[in-house]
Chain A
Amino acid sequence: MIVFGEGMMKKEVVGIRNLNVSYGKKRVLSNVDLSIPDNVRCAIIGPNGAGKSTLIKAILDLIEHDAASVKVLGKPLDEVRSRIAYVAQRSNANRDFPTTVFDTVLMGRYQHLGLFKRPGRRDREIALEAIREMRMEACLDRHISQLSGGQLQRVFIARALCQDADLYILDEPLAGVDENTETIIMDTFIDLQKKGKTIIAVHHDLSTIRHYFDYLVILNEEIKSHGPVEEVFTREQVDKAFKMEIDGREDRKEWVAREDNRLVYV
Chain B
Amino acid sequence: MKIIGSYTFNIVAAASVLLSIATSLIGSINVFKKQSLVGDAIGHASYPGIIIAFMVSKSRSPFILLTGAALLGGAAYHLIQKSEKRTTIPLDGNLAIFLSGFFGLGMVLKTYIQGNARFARASQAGLDAYIFGQTSFLLELDLVMIAIVTLVCVLFFTLFYKEIKLYLFDREFSAVIGLPTKLMDALILVMTILVISVGLKSVGALLISSFLILPVIAAEQWSDKFFNVLVISCIMSMTSSLIGNYLSFAGEGVATGPVIVLISCIFAFLSMMFGKRSHIFGKRRES
Residues in chain A within 8 A of chain B (CB atoms): 60-62, 78, 81-82, 84, 86, 88, 91-94, 96-100, 103-104, 107, 110-111, 113, 115-116, 118-119, 141-143, 145-148, 159, 163
Contacts and interface: CB of A to CB of B under 8 A. Distances in A.
Nearest to B285: A146
Contact of A88 (B172, B226, B287): B172
A97 B168 contact: yes
A91 to B, nearest CB: 7
The 10 A-B residue pairs whose C-beta atoms are closest, nearest first, are: A93-B170, A111-B177, A81-B178, A143-B224, A97-B169, A86-B176, A145-B286, A98-B229, A98-B226, A100-B224
Interface string B244-269: 00000000000000000000000000
Contacts of B83: none
A233 B277 CA distance: 50
16 contacts: A62-B175, A81-B176, A81-B178, A86-B173, A97-B32, A97-B168, A98-B229, A99-B165, A99-B226, A103-B225, A107-B165, A107-B166, A111-B178, A143-B224, A143-B284, A145-B286
Contacts of A96: 32, 220
A113 B160 CA distance: 12
Contacts of A141: 224
Interface residues of B, number: 31
A116 B159 contact: yes
Contacts of A107: 165-166, 169-170, 173
Contacts of B78: none
A88 B228 CA distance: 28
B34 interface: yes
Given A110-B162, A145-B286, A145-B287, A93 B169 contact: yes
Interface of B: 32, 34, 159-163, 165-166, 168-173, 175-178, 220, 223-226, 228-229, 277, 284-287
B220 A92 contact: no
A146 B287 contact: yes
Contacts, number: 90
A78 B177 contact: no
A94 B169 contact: yes
B275 to A, nearest CB: 12
Contacts of A118: 161-162
B277 A93 contact: no
Contacts of A99: 165, 169, 224-226
B123 to A, nearest CB: 47
A143 B287 CA distance: 10
